[in-house]
Amino acid sequence: MENYTEQDKFLLAVDCIIFGFDKQDLKILLIKRDFEPERGNWSLMGGFLKKNENLDEAANRVLHHLTGLENVYLEQLQTYSALDRDPVERTVSVSYFALINLTEKTKINEDFSAKWFTINEAPSLIFDHNQMVLDAISWLRYSVSTKPIGFELLPEKFTMKQLQSVYEVILGEELDKRNFINKINALDILIKIEEKDRSSSRKGSFLYTFDEVKYKAKVAEGFTFKFMGVK
């Protein structure tokens, strides 16, 4: 026991970078810090690890406390351990990024003065949270090309145009419609349903769903998700 008691003690936290898509823009959910230091400034939603939970459970607890959502796509990203990253106490933080479809109702906890910002209009954040966001965006751009996580930002039924919009806002570039559709169809992981979205035109656009069962079966057979030429 002496080997344990003689070691340095520090706090372990999780910080959640919460991304959302509203059919047009990629957004990030931020809170206004209500205690010192940096009281009144914008921050990521975070919390400290409790004795009775692991890191994933802590991140899910923090996310649920702010949004009321469960079963949200949540991925551990990176660890931040700079000695001076928190001026109050030595704190190591593990970042997570979450993906939320904003067309579904999200009940934001009003206690945190939370607000959705488009990525390009987000304010400066406390501590090293700006770097966390930059790292998360970079990883999201890579991940959307190597895993089908873009579907997490869409409703269960979506149009091809909506799917293309997700990729465009994440990758930060306009994509050729024909090439995009050809690449998506070549993956063979969508189900075209006999239903149309007529919200934007009388003719309407066919709706699709992501075939997760088929995707997992293909992965088990050696299939690798590749999009936009990422190797």
Domain boundaries, the chain: 2-146, 154-220
Q: Is-cis flag, bond preceding 37, omega within 30?
A: yes
- According to the model, what pLDDT value does residue 105 have? 64
Decide: residue 99, CB within 10 A, 0-12 exposed, 13-18 middle, 19+ buried: buried
- According to the model, what pLDDT value does residue 199 have? 78
Task: Choose which CATH entry (1.25.50.20, 1.10.238.10, 1.10.8.350, 1.10.10.10) describes domain 154-220.
Answer: 1.10.10.10
Scored b (16 or more CB within 10 A) or e, 54-86 reads eeeebbbebbeebbebeebebbebeebeeeebb
- According to the model, what pLDDT value does residue 18 have? 97
Tokens of 226: 């590749």
Rounded Cα gap, residues 80 and 227, in angstroms: 30
Assigned CATH topology for domain 2-146? Nucleoside Triphosphate Pyrophosphohydrolase (3.90.79)
- According to the model, what pLDDT value does residue 231 have? 42
Q: What is the pTM of this model?
A: 0.92
Q: What is the pLDDT along the chain (231 residues), one digit of tens a residue?
A: 678 888 999 999 999 999 999 888 999 999 999 999 999 999 999 999 999 999 999 999 999 999 988 889 999 999 999 999 999 999 999 999 999 998 776 778 888 999 999 999 999 999 999 999 999 999 999 999 999 999 999 999 999 999 999 999 999 999 999 999 999 999 999 999 989 988 777 788 999 999 999 999 999 999 999 886 554
